């Protein structure tokens, strides 16, 4: 009857507007911020893929309390400004939390935004000391530059008896690279070593790295340490090898992606790194993840992939186990320890975690554990 149509229409419109109670609930939104373009795109893309797999697996199990999980992805353009813009966009989109970024220079732009907007953010790989020991909205899966650089220094000076060391550091990610270089120099001195050359490199400049290589090799160091991304480490290694085919080459963990192998060729044969995961691990969870990653993306997962999957595990388990009026940060602090793909992720009261160190060397185009 005509008189009954209007109430029915109003009820239908109300149902469509609210979504809840008349169908599936609105999805839970998780943001991802990473360097998906430019020189840092290798670790950004591998992180995004790992987070995507984690969310798809959770959705296949029913999501969070029956609600599907939606991933919103933003490119930080490997800059503090791009990171800040990405964080603002995700906050405006009402995401529950953010996973990322990968690079410390980007984090310097993101952290003020997420603190202002009270948006919990979990970084897989950021390690600059400036972000450690701070009670804020920024949690980190990775260890600090102090922890990592000290591990490198002890290995080089004590274990390898290399006392005269040359350092090259990326000027575009100085929040990380300067922190790493300073901590390495301090630790190397404690162990009886010295820095005989220190040179900044800017991968955005069109010129090659021949002048950088010459400055590093001039004092005849026992080894050259490169604190840069995979692309620039590969380029610099090629220039170093043109002058000195035998000097030991070492790269900070930032460079340890599959792109380094693809670009470095023979120039990086024998290059040494420390990584926060074991490529030869037989842990069941890691093997299952690796199989799924290779099958889906036709590529091997790197260190950023493992760390990003662990970050997603923390995020999803926190959402799943949140109680009452708890914030997600409070839930994660209460749980404190999460099982990662290869090792537990344990947060201290400031949201900082620790990782085990694995020494690797490039042999026949592969990262081989020492």
User: Hey, what are 215's tokens?
Assistant: 């400055």
Planar angle of CA 75, 76, 82, nearest 5 degrees: 130
Query: For residue 18, is it within any domain?
Result: no
Instruction: For residue 204, name the pLDDT band (cuts at 50, 70, 90).
Output: confident
Domain end position, chosen among 275, 302, 318: 275
Residue 246 has a CB neighbour count (10 Å cut-off) of: 7
User: Could you report the per-residue pLDDT of 47-77, keeping only the tens digit for each?
Assistant: 999 999 999 999 999 999 999 999 999 999 9
Final residue in a domain of this structure, among 220, 243, 275: 275
Residues 90 and 165 in one domain: no
**Residue 292 is encoded by which pair of tokens?**
């799924």
For position 123, which CATH number holds?
Answer: 3.40.50.2300
Domain, as residue range, for 151 = 146-275
Looking at the fold, whether 68 and 126 belong to one and the same domain comes out as yes
What is the distance of C-alpha 218 from the center of its chain? 34
Whose tokens are 């109003």? That residue is 10
In-domain check, residue 111: yes
Q: What is the DSSP letter of 360?
A: E
- Residue 362 pLDDT: 96
Dihedral sign, CA of 101, 106, 107, 111? negative
Lookup result for tokens 């609105």: 26
pTM: 0.86
Check whether residue 271 and residue 166 sit in a common domain.
yes
- Domain assignment of residue 355, yes or no: no
Residue 142 and residue 125 in contact, taking contact as beta carbons nearer than 8 Å: yes
Nearest to 100 by CA among 132, 133, 129, 73: 73
**pLDDT band for position 89 (cuts 50, 70, 90):** very high
With b for 16 or more beta-carbon neighbours within 10 A and e for fewer, the 315-345 pattern comes to bbbbbeebeeeeebbebbbeeeebebbbbeb
């Amino acid at each position: 009857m005509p008189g009954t149509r209007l109430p029915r229409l109003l009820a239908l419109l109300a149902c469509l507007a609210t979504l809840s109670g008349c169908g599936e609930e609105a999805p839970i939104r998780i943001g991802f911020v990473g360097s998906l373009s430019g020189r840092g795109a290798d670790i950004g893309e591998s992180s995004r893929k790992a987070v995507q797999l984690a969310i798809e697996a959770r959705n296949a199990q029913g999501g969070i309390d029956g609600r599907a999980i939606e991933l919103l992805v933003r490119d930080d353009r490997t800059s503090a400004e791009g990171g800040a813009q990405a964080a603002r966009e995700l906050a405006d989109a009402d995401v529950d939390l953010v996973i990322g970024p990968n690079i410390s220079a980007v984090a310097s732009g993101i952290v003020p935004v997420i603190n202002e907007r009270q948006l919990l953010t979990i970084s897989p790989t950021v390690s600059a000391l400036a972000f450690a020991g701070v009670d804020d909205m920024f949690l980190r899966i990775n260890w600090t530059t102090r922890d990592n650089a000290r591990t490198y220094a002890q290995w080089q000076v004590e274990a390898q008896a290399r006392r005269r060391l040359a350092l090259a550091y990326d000027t575009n990610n100085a929040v990380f690279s300067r922190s790493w270089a300073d901590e390495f120099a301090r630790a190397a001195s404690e162990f009886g070593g010295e820095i005989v050359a220190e040179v900044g490199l800017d991968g955005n400049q069109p010129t090659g790295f021949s002048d950088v290589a010459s400055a590093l090799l001039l004092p005849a160091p026992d080894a050259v340490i490169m604190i840069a991304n995979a692309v620039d480490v590969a380029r610099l290694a090629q220039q170093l090898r043109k002058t000195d085919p035998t000097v030991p080459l070492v790269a900070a963990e930032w460079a340890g992606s599959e792109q380094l192998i693809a670009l470095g060729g023979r120039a990086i044969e024998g290059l040494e790194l420390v990584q926060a995961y074991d490529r030869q691990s037989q842990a069941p969870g890691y093997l299952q993840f690796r199989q799924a990653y290779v099958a889906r993306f036709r590529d091997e997962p790197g260190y950023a992939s493992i760390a990003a999957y662990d970050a997603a595990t923390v995020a999803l388990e926190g959402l799943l186990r949140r109680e009452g009026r708890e914030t997600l940060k409070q839930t994660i602090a209460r749980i404190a320890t999460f099982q990662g793909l290869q090792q537990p992720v344990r947060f201290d009261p400031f949201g900082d975690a620790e990782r085990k160190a694995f020494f690797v060397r490039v042999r026949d185009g592969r990262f081989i554990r020492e």
